[in-house]
Chains A and B, each alone.
Chain A
């Protein structure tokens, strides 16, 4: 607790203080455990631990440590070279590649190559925005939707099947496919919502179980006649009609309309949570279900509707993935977007716009990780480690605060209402 919160001084004096030291106050608060500082330091800590992992897992660099006491410069230089090469690739692959940009200016390269990193970042970010929003909106209503993965898988299935089976005219085809993705996800969210409302079955348990059910269903469906590619014997589906795919920029840029759509949906969800009457109800139910019930809201109805919306969002995430990037179903088509969405929502502190930025950050890590793997041969899995570590630190602000000796602030805790067990 900062002192000025606990014992507010007389108004006049406070005003004086604020006027004479805005910069001082800013610096004072900068090194406190506020949301921004904790987030930045969490990312920093994750990168440091990632650097340790890079060094430890490289036999060549590790061998220089065997004579560390004799010539420490060897070990330090080798480590630094490796780490800086890796993280520079992470940056170049995600945001901005100076050499490609230089080539474009000089006329030796194309503008497309210069914008490839950003395009990759946004491509990876688009589905994560949806799955992240799905988790975030459920959180706000006091539900923990771990089922984003399953809902996204079902969304992939329904939108892909609609995309190659219906053969509707252009434009309508894409719309119907997206709608089918949302409906499929909504169905997969409706089940745990209904069970929670009617029987009190904990949504964490039911959604975990439905995740694997969905994955198994996909691996069965993909081998059925009419879905499987007739020219292939392995688990791969027919290709989605070009008219049902999300329009993309010319190759090699892969970014597609999904990211624009994601921003619009983020705005929609922000309006829904903060401005609509349902949003008010869901926040009320999230904070205190008995009180919401006393105030005349139907907790059961809110839970069910909330899970339907969350499911639809995750389903749209799956649809974006399959209509935008994958263009056909495989058993791994949804990748890890559901679980990544969980991390994204936590990093975005369950706020819609925060989730959008978190998704872009995670997309950037992923895009940069690809270059890192191709260039210096450091596995893409490092990105998963970084992503998980960031959220571990975000979720435990007390840990970050203790490590960096931060001042206390009105803590950026994850919603305390969540810690309620099964």
Chain B
């Protein structure tokens, strides 16, 4: 947000209005809960909905009557909303909100799955895999934006990363060379962003958008010139191996999802912790946050503002490039023109929805990944709910978040403002 929003100019809101955040959230939850109870409940089949613990229809399963479940969970959503609306709880509002949203999702699932089955392992694993590039992209955004450089070029970094991984991975027939060059590809775009934004003071959103188009053009051009004529030589990267940790992988549901997977998943999850720890507990993090909130003050006490911004944007490039590797080394076997198809912007949405924090970004990315996975599942089982609308969910959720309907999201104060030493 720019510091001077129109709201600030027009009215000074009283600190304790009746329609405070809790009540607004409560009202929203009551409404969606009623929708769940009445619409989902009446449309749902009375047949059993089975949530199987294995990857297919066999084996142990959690079962519930479709209609019964839809109504039950809908009522719980209404109750959670009602408690918030009544304004009797002061703390634990976020927990109630989470409860309301989760039960709403359950109600929806009961309606959709009635008479069918939903494999939990596959859903969880798929959600995590789809969320993987979003987590990495959003972390790259966190690094840049917490130090005051808006990064809209995540999409371009993904594309460069995906392209680099495919090209070098094939030519060197080594998946690790591919991964490293994905990072190099991400850094290339990040370096252009950094130089133009920090050294030449170009508007950062403009640079980001233009760099996205640049990456789209360069990768598309080289794809058509090199990869399309000779795919065998340039566009058949090896797959990132799946590693299975014996013992841990045998835990039901969690085991196969977290401990029988490729190392990029671990890298992403570890990085979330590392970045969180770094930002909140280390000298580098303190300085990063200072530079992002008040660069002049940071400069006064001797922090090198521009140097730190360069460092963080380039580190972000490494991470986003690794996220790009997902597209060619994990999810598919070859590079294709514009194959990221807006994932970079969903990562940006996850960053904003997660309020510029690593764990918030992780949560948002997982939520968006789940929405995508659900959309795939629903179109596969022939649901009446069009999958396009579920795919809109990340974007709409972000609009609702920045509009302040669900609490205020606030960017670092100096985000996007170039620093000129006076």
Residues on A facing B (Cβ under 8 Å): 53, 57-59, 144, 146, 195-202, 204-206, 208-213, 215-217, 219-220, 289-290, 293, 299-300, 303, 336, 339, 342-343, 346, 378-379, 381-389, 391-392, 395-396, 398-399, 414, 418-422
B7, B202, B217: which contacts A396 (Cβ < 8 A)? B202
B10, B192, B200, B224: which contacts A381 (Cβ < 8 A)? B224
Smallest Cβ-Cβ distance to B148: which chain A residue: A421
Query: Which interface residue of B5, B6, B226, B403 has the most chain A CB atoms within 10 A?
Result: B6
- A343 near B213 (CB under 8 angstroms)? yes
Smallest Cβ-Cβ distance to A395: which chain B residue: B202
A343 CB contacts on chain B under 8 angstroms: 210, 213
B209: Cβ under 8 A from any A Cβ = yes
A58 CB contacts on chain B under 8 angstroms: 225
The answer to whether A395 and B196 touch (CB under 8 A), given A290-B9, A381-B224, A421-B2, is yes
A381 CB contacts on chain B under 8 angstroms: 216-218, 220-221, 223-224, 337
A299 CB contacts on chain B under 8 angstroms: 6, 9-10
B203, B389, B403: which contacts A414 (Cβ < 8 A)? B203
B231: Cβ under 8 A from any A Cβ = no
The answer to whether A392 and B214 touch (CB under 8 A), given A200-B7, A381-B221, is yes
- A419 near B200 (CB under 8 angstroms)? no
The answer to whether A53 and B218 touch (CB under 8 A), given A209-B395, A381-B224, is yes
- A208 near B200 (CB under 8 angstroms)? no
B392: Cβ under 8 A from any A Cβ = yes
- B415 near A209 (CB under 8 angstroms)? no
B396 CB contacts on chain A under 8 angstroms: 209, 213
Smallest Cβ-Cβ distance to B414: which chain A residue: A421
A396 to B418, CA, bound (A): 13
Query: Which interface residue of B10, B392, B414 has the most chain A CB atoms within 10 A?
Result: B392
- B398 near A378 (CB under 8 angstroms)? no
Q: Could you give 17 example pairs across A and B, Cβ below 8 Å?
A: A58-B225, A144-B205, A146-B209, A199-B404, A199-B405, A201-B1, A201-B399, A202-B1, A205-B399, A205-B402, A300-B10, A339-B212, A346-B206, A392-B192, A392-B214, A421-B148, A421-B417
- B150 near A422 (CB under 8 angstroms)? yes
- B221 near A421 (CB under 8 angstroms)? no
B206 CB contacts on chain A under 8 angstroms: 144, 346, 391, 395, 414, 418
| B363-393 interface code vs A (CB 8 A; 1 in, 0 out) | 0000000000000000000000010110110
The answer to whether A389 and B225 touch (CB under 8 A), given A210-B399, A420-B417, is no
| B120-138 interface code vs A (CB 8 A; 1 in, 0 out) | 0000000000000000000
B88: Cβ under 8 A from any A Cβ = no
- B204 near A419 (CB under 8 angstroms)? yes
A343 to B217, CA, bound (A): 14
- A395 near B213 (CB under 8 angstroms)? no
Q: How far is the CB of A320 from chain B (nearest CB, A)?
A: 21
- B209 near A342 (CB under 8 angstroms)? yes
Other than the known A57-B222, A212-B345, what 19 A-B pairs have Cβ atoms closer than 8 Å? A58-B225, A59-B226, A144-B205, A146-B209, A200-B8, A212-B342, A213-B392, A216-B392, A219-B388, A289-B9, A336-B213, A381-B221, A381-B337, A388-B214, A392-B196, A392-B211, A414-B206, A419-B417, A422-B1
- B217 near A388 (CB under 8 angstroms)? yes
B352: Cβ under 8 A from any A Cβ = yes
A209, A336, A379, A414: which contacts B202 (Cβ < 8 A)? A414
Smallest Cβ-Cβ distance to B216: which chain A residue: A384
Q: How far is the CB of A227 from chain B (nearest CB, A)?
A: 13
A212, A217, A398, A420: which contacts B2 (Cβ < 8 A)? A420
B220 CB contacts on chain A under 8 angstroms: 379, 381, 384
The answer to whether A200 and B5 touch (CB under 8 A), given A208-B348, A342-B209, A395-B202, is yes
B349: Cβ under 8 A from any A Cβ = yes
A419 CB contacts on chain B under 8 angstroms: 201, 203-204, 416-418
- A198 near B205 (CB under 8 angstroms)? no
Smallest Cβ-Cβ distance to B5: which chain A residue: A200
A200, A389, A392, A396: which contacts B6 (Cβ < 8 A)? A200
A59, A204, A383, A392: which contacts B205 (Cβ < 8 A)? A204
Interface of B is mostly: helix
Smallest Cβ-Cβ distance to A217: which chain B residue: B388
A197 CB contacts on chain B under 8 angstroms: 6
Smallest Cβ-Cβ distance to A397: which chain B residue: B200
Smallest Cβ-Cβ distance to B410: which chain A residue: A422
Minimum-distance CB pairs A-B, first 8: A421-B416, A200-B5, A384-B217, A385-B217, A381-B220, A379-B224, A57-B225, A209-B395
- B414 near A199 (CB under 8 angstroms)? no
Smallest Cβ-Cβ distance to B156: which chain A residue: A388
Smallest Cβ-Cβ distance to A401: which chain B residue: B200
A328 to B416, CA, bound (A): 40
- A392 near B415 (CB under 8 angstroms)? no
- B210 near A388 (CB under 8 angstroms)? yes
A199 to B8, CA, bound (A): 9
Smallest Cβ-Cβ distance to A219: which chain B residue: B388
B348 CB contacts on chain A under 8 angstroms: 205, 208
A421 CB contacts on chain B under 8 angstroms: 2, 148, 150, 204, 411, 414-417
A388 to B206, CA, bound (A): 11
A382 CB contacts on chain B under 8 angstroms: 217, 221
A199, A208, A290: which contacts B345 (Cβ < 8 A)? A208
The answer to whether A205 and B218 touch (CB under 8 A), given A57-B225, A200-B5, A422-B411, is no
B218 CB contacts on chain A under 8 angstroms: 53, 381, 385
Q: Which parts of B176-202 form the interface with A (CB within 8 Å)?
A: 192, 196, 200-202
The answer to whether A384 and B213 touch (CB under 8 A), given A201-B402, A201-B404, is yes
B95: Cβ under 8 A from any A Cβ = no
Query: Which interface residue of B2, B200, B217 has the most chain A CB atoms within 10 A?
Result: B217
Query: Which interface residue of B4, B342, B403 has the most chain A CB atoms within 10 A?
Result: B403
Q: How far is the CB of B131 from chain A (nearest CB, A)?
A: 17
B10 CB contacts on chain A under 8 angstroms: 293, 299-300
B175: Cβ under 8 A from any A Cβ = no
Q: How far is the CB of B219 from chain A (nearest CB, A)?
A: 8
A421 to B225, CA, bound (A): 38
B416 CB contacts on chain A under 8 angstroms: 419-422
- B204 near A387 (CB under 8 angstroms)? no
B207: Cβ under 8 A from any A Cβ = yes
Q: How far is the CB of A45 from chain B (nearest CB, A)?
A: 13
